[in-house]
Structure 1
Amino acid sequence: MTILTQVEPVEIEYPSSDGEPMAESDITRDYRTYSVEAVKLYFQERSDVYVSANSFIYYEEGNNQAVVAPAVYVVFGVANRKRDNYKVWEEGGITPDFVLEITSETTQTKDQETKPEIYRALGVREYFQYDPSGDYLNPILQGVRLINNQYEPIAANNIAFDTLWLFSEVLELELHIISGELRFKVPQTGEFLKTHKEENLGRLAEQQARLAAESAFQQSEQARLAAESTLRSLVTQLLNSGMSLEQVAQTINLSTLEVRGLVGENF
C-alpha cells in the first residue's frame, strides 16, 4: 500500500529590509529626503498616487530575489497608504511609473546597467538619474522615457554643467538642477516644491512678517495719534490766547478746515 504524504507549501517571506545597516552619504540622504517629501506633499490630495523611497519592490510572486529598491518612485492608480514593501501582484499588477535614482560612482553599474533593464521590463515610464557629486554623469541629471518598450533620452535644457532642467511627463513637473542642487518645479506656477519642514519654515516666516507689519502699523498709528494730540493742544493754546482760527491756521501751516477738525466747533 502506498502512503501519500502531504507536503506543506513553503511560505515565502518578502522582507522589508535586507537586515544590513543602510550606509549612505549626507548628500544622497538629503536629496532623497527632499525628493520623496516634496513629491509626496505635491500629490497629497490624490488618493490614487503612491510615493515612496528606498523600499523594496517585489515584482515576481514566489520569488523574493526578484526585487529592486529605487531611491524614489511614484505609482499612479494604487491606494495612497503606508506599506512595508511593494508587491506588484498585490497591487493589481500595477508597477511604478516614475523612478529617480540618487546615483554615484559606487552604484554606477547597477544604476546604468542592471536597474534600467529591470525598470524597462516592469514598464517604468520614466527613469531619472541624479549624480549630485558629479562622479560620472555629465550632465549630472539625466532621464529616459519608455517609447515602444525602449528607453529614449529625455532632452535636457542645458544652461551649464550644473544648471539645467528636464521635464517629466509622468509627474507633469520640471526637474531642475540649480548650481548642482536638485529641485522640482511646477511649470504652471513657477514655484519650486518644498518639504514639510520648508513649508513650515515658509509659513513661520510669513507669520513673523505679518506680525512685524502689524506691529509697525500699530507703532505708526500710536505716533500719529500722539502727534495729533500734541498739535491739538497747541491749537487750543493759541486760540485761547486770542488768536483767530485763520491766524492759527496760518501760523501752523494748516487750512482752517484742518484746524477746525482738530478742535471741533468749540472755537
Structure 2
Amino acid sequence: MRNAVQDKVIEYPDSDGMPMADNTLQFQWIVTLKEEIGVLFRDHPDVFVAGDLLWYPVEGRPDIRVAPDVLVAFGRPKGYRGSYRQWVEDGIAPQVVFEVRSPGNREAEMNRKLRFYDTYGVEEYYLYDPNRNTFAGWRRTHTGFEPIPDINNWVSPRLGIRFELHGEVFTVTRPDGRQFLTFDEMDTARVLAEQERQQAQQERQQAQQERQQAEREQQQAEQGQQQALAQAEQERQRAERLAAQLRALGIEPEV
C-alpha cells in the first residue's frame, strides 16, 4: 500500500516571497548582468540565462532552494520556466551564478549561499557589492570552491567576460571589448547610434546629390563639346562647297 507521504503531491513554488532587490542600485546591476549576458549568448540556443529564478537542486526537497540574482546554465535550452528544477534539466546545475549584495544582506545569509553553490556544483560564483564597490569570486577546483585571488581583470572561463575594479568604477567587458551597459546607458547609446545613422544617411544622400550634379554637368559639357564639333564640321563642309563653286568659276579660293 502507498503511504501518505507517497500520495502527497510535492509542490515547488515559483516564488519564495522575497523581493528581487532591496534598492534601485542593486536592481540596476541585477538587470544589467542578466540582460547583457543574455544578449551575449542570444545566438546560443543551449544557454539559459535567468534572474531571480528559484533553483531546486534536489528532487523531493522543495525546502532546498535558492534564487540567485543571475544564473547561467550551459547545455539547457532557452524558454520560460517557473523555477529551475535540476532533475528536469538533465541534472545540469547552473555553472555560473551572480549575487548582487544589498545593505540588507547579512554575512550569515551570504555564507549560506556560498555553501549552497559549493555543495550543488556551481563552477563560478561572483559576488558584487555596489554600495561598497567590492567584488569577489570563487571557482570550482578538484577540492571544491576556491576564492579567486586576483579578481581584478579576471576573465570568466565560462562567459569570456572581464571584470575590472578601478577605484569607484566597476566594469564588465564583453569579449569584443564593449562594456556592459545599464538600460539608461543602452538607451543613450541607441539614441546616439540613431543620430549617427541619420547623419551618415544624410551625408550619403548629399554625396549622391553632388555626384548626380557632377554627372549632369559632365553630360552638359559633353553635349556642348559635341555641338561645337558638329558646328565645326558644318562650317568645314560649307567652306569646302564654297571652294568647289569658286574653282568651277575658275577662281582659286584663298587658303
Name the CA distance, whole Å, in 2 between partners of 1:22 and 1:199: 22
Deviation at 1:155, TM superposition (A): 3.6
Conserved 8 A contact 1:53-1:73:
yes
Name the CA distance, whole Å, in 1 between partners of 2:136 and 2:2: 57
Q: What residue in structure 2 maps to residue 207 of structure 1? A: 194
Cα distance change on mapping 1:221 and 1:125 into 2, 3 Å: closer
Conserved 8 A contact 1:74-1:98:
yes
Cα distance change on mapping 1:131 and 1:21 into 2, 3 Å: closer
Conserved 8 A contact 1:61-1:89:
yes
Aligned-residue Cα RMSD (Å) equals 3.5
| TM-score between both structures, scaled by the size of structure 2 | 0.73
Conserved 8 A contact 1:186-1:192:
yes
SS at match of 1:142: strand
SS at match of 1:107: coil
State, as a whole percentage, how many aligned pairs show the same letter: 29
Deviation at 1:23, TM superposition (A): 5.2
1:192 aligns with 2:186: no
Written as runs of structure 1 = structure 2, the 5 A alignment for 1:170-249 is 170-177=158-165, 180-187=168-175, 189-194=176-181, 202-216=189-203, 218=205
SS at match of 1:133: coil
Name the CA distance, whole Å, in 2 between partners of 1:5 and 1:40: 45
Name the CA distance, whole Å, in 1 between partners of 2:211 and 2:89: 67
Conserved 8 A contact 1:74-1:97:
yes
Q: What residue in structure 1 maps to residue 25 of structure 2? A: 27
Conserved 8 A contact 2:22-2:102:
no
Cα distance change on mapping 1:219 and 1:90 into 2, 3 Å: closer
Structure 2 counterpart of 1:148, one-letter code: H
Name the CA distance, whole Å, in 1 between partners of 2:142 and 2:91: 20
Q: What residue in structure 1 maps to residue 252 of structure 2? A: none
Greater Rg by CA: 2
Conserved 8 A contact 1:186-1:193:
yes
SS at match of 2:49: strand
- Structure 1 stretches lacking a partner, 5+ long: 158-163, 233-259
Number of aligned positions between the proteins: 226
- Structure 2 stretches lacking a partner, 5+ long: 229-255
Q: What residue in structure 1 maps to residue 144 of structure 2? A: 150
Once the two structures are superposed, residues 47-66 of structure 1 have per-residue CA deviations (whole angstroms, 9 ceiling, x without a partner) of 11111111110122112110
| TM-score between both structures, scaled by the size of structure 1 | 0.70
SS at match of 2:38: helix
Name the CA distance, whole Å, in 1 between partners of 2:53 and 2:191: 32
Cα distance change on mapping 1:225 and 1:62 into 2, 3 Å: closer
Deviation at 1:13, TM superposition (A): 1.0
